[in-house]
Amino acid sequence: MFDADTRTMGYLPNFTRVFAHSPATYAAWQQLNAAVKAGMELRRYELATLAAARALRSSYCGLAHGKVLRDRFFDARTVAAIASDHGAAGLSPQEVAVVDFAGKVAADASSVTEADVAGLRDHGLDDTEIFQVVLAAAARCFFSTVLSAAGAQPDPQYDDALDPELRQALRFGD
């Protein structure tokens, strides 16, 4: 497990050390996360995941997924804006609706209403796409909660990989 993640990441992530206490759970998480990601566009997955990380106050996941957004889709200034005020960050109306919805799912899934779902339909998402956003947010709830409860700190590699302003914007709490 340590060797595989070190090869993949180039270092041994702190989350791997946490999940070393239950390798079967880690393997199941990797399978679940891969299935969730495979069902949607990466940009939408990363936006939904960042929204969930923000709602959960997970700096670890905020930094990780903010970095992916910066590396693959946006410049650092835009990612910082998404992290702090996504409605004014230049996202499409559909993306703003996805971020709003994913944040609500992560913060309080029982508060999601049919009107929330209809709002995503109005922005062009079908029921399968909406379900994929639910899955992305709910999966992040599991992973972020485990890391937070276990006291896992963000990997120090984010200090070198992200400029100070972006790091600060992606630090949501823990």
User: Could you state, in chain order, the average pLDDT of each consecutive group of 10 residues for the chain (174 residues)?
Assistant: 95 97 97 96 98 97 98 97 96 98 98 97 98 98 97 95 96 84
Domain range for 75: 41-170
CA distances from 112 to 45, 55, 150 (A): 19, 14, 28
pLDDT of residue 173: 82
Chain centroid, CA 46 distance in Å: 6
In the 8-state DSSP scheme, what is residue 111? G
Asked, for residue 73, whether it belongs to a domain, the answer is yes
Asked, for residue 139, whether it belongs to a domain, the answer is yes
pLDDT of residue 44: 98
CATH number assigned to the domain comprising residue 90: 1.20.1290.10
Q: Which helix (H) or strand (E) holds 31?
A: helix 23-38
66, 65, 60: which is closest to 78 by C-alpha?
66
